[in-house]
A and B are shown apart, each in its own frame.
Chain A
Amino acid sequence: MKTLYILTGACLLVSLIANPAKTLQALKIAGKRFLKLLGEFALLLILVSLALTLLPPQSILGYLEGPGKLLGTLIAAAVGSLTYIPGFIAYPLAGILHQQGIPYIVLASFVTTLMMVGVVTFPMEQRILGTRVALVRNILYFLLALLTSLAIGLIFGELP
């Protein structure tokens, strides 16, 4: 996070020295973009807060423990698509799940859908891409995540 602040500060400083007018324009663009997406950010916050109540990270082991590998992979994909967990919580969680004996194929499905498919970011995606293309992209990347998981299962010898 510190890197982000230092990088932004440095870029801003260099830009300011090089061309103050352009820098002001950049800040205006930043502000305008942010304000125009404010509603979508509000919806993102709302959906994330609801998802974390309905599917708290602690509960996820319970969903993935029982079923076999293939059903587990599907459930993991559904959970990963529906909820939102920031990476710095999701990966340590995946590490714990792995120690509990959850196979790689299920974990791959969980982390890839978590990052690539987003119900919580859908309002924002819809605002930029339009409803139909946003739907198509999410469904397509959901299928790609499943394919990736199957391949991971084969690579790690978890599938016959």
Chain B
Amino acid sequence: MRSKKIWAIILYVVLLGISLATGFKPGIQTGKNLVNFASQMMMVLPFAFILIGLFEVWVPRQTIEKHLGIGSGIKGHLWAVILSAPMVGGLYVAFPMAYTLYKKGAGLGVIFTFLGASSLCRIPMLIFEASFLGVPFSLARLAVSLPLVIGSSAVLGRILQKKGYQPKMDL
């Protein structure tokens, strides 16, 4: 799997090089997109990872186990929603953070709620959404999607827990 990914990256770089050499417009556009998005991402990632690192050394395992652990019930899910609210970036920051939470003893269902909530109710996104689509739209969307996400995350978490599933723990 790893080597497949490396080959994909090499292929992309080669095609990008050919596009630049031959002046292939969509290829050049793709290169521009890459530079744009990479610079945006680098403005967020180092800081997000430092915060994740600090979270990992300072927040005790017992705290996470108690409030977000397997027996934490609906409260654990609500904590996951609260934790997701100040998240920055997108899913690409939420996944490393979810990994840290799991390592600290959060339940699987709570992890899935966290992933869903960090795409649904991050405050920076909500402000944008409400200002361009209206407060009623944002409220309605939250009121419908949040219970759906919590419910199905709890079910999915329980099924996976029964099957003895574990995320990869090699980061």
Task: Let me know if A34 and B45 touch, CB within 8 A.
Answer: yes
Q: Report B13-30 residues with CB < 8 Å from chain A CB.
A: 26, 29-30
Task: Tell me if A75 counts as interface (CB < 8 A to partner B).
Answer: no
Contact B58 A22 (CB under 8 A): yes
In whole angstroms, what is the CA distance A44 to B12 when docked?
Answer: 12
A4 lies within 8 A of B90 (CB): no
B96 within 8 A of A: yes
Q: Is the CB of A49 within 8 A of B91?
A: no
Distance of A22 Cα from B41 Cα, bound (Å) = 27
**Bound complex: CA of A18 vs CA of B51, how far in Å?**
16
Secondary structure of the B contact surface, majority rule: helix
Q: Does B162 belong to the interface (CB within 8 Å)?
A: no
Whether A22 contacts B51 by the Cβ 8 Å rule is: no
- CB-defined contacts of A52 to chain B, threshold 8 Å: 30, 33, 37
Interface string of B24-61 (1 = CB under 8 A from A): 00100111011001101101111111111110111000
Question: Could you mark each residue 119-161 of chain B with 1 if its beta carbon is under 8 Å from any beta carbon of chain A, else 0?
Answer: 1100011001101110001001100110011001000100010
**Which of B51, B88, B112, B165 interacts with A11 by CB under 8 Å?**
B51
A65 to B26, CA, bound (A): 25
In the complex the two chains form, what is the Cα distance from A29 to B5 in whole Å?
24
A71 to B37 alpha-carbon distance, docked (Å): 31
Encode A4-32 as 1/0 by CB contact (under 8 A) with B.
Answer: 11011001100100000011011111111
A129: Cβ under 8 A from any B Cβ? yes
Q: How far is the CB of A113 from chain B (nearest CB, A)?
A: 10
A156 and B140 contact, CB distance less than 8 A:
yes
Do A45 and B37 touch across chains, with their CB atoms under 8 A apart? yes
CA distance A121 to B29 in the complex (A): 21
Q: Is the CB of A123 within 8 A of B5?
A: yes
Task: Using known A-B contacts A25-B57, A140-B152, determine if residue A49 contacts B34 with beta carbons closer than 8 Å.
Answer: yes
Which positions in B face A, CB cutoff 8 Å? 2, 5-6, 8-9, 12, 26, 29-31, 33-34, 37-38, 40-41, 43-54, 56-58, 88, 90-92, 95-96, 98-99, 112, 115-116, 119-120, 124-125, 128-129, 131-133, 137, 140-141, 144-145, 148-149, 152, 156, 160, 165, 167-168, 170-171
Q: A121-B91, A128-B171, A129-B167 are in contact. List 4 more A-B contacts (CB 8 A).
A: A39-B2, A45-B37, A111-B133, A116-B119
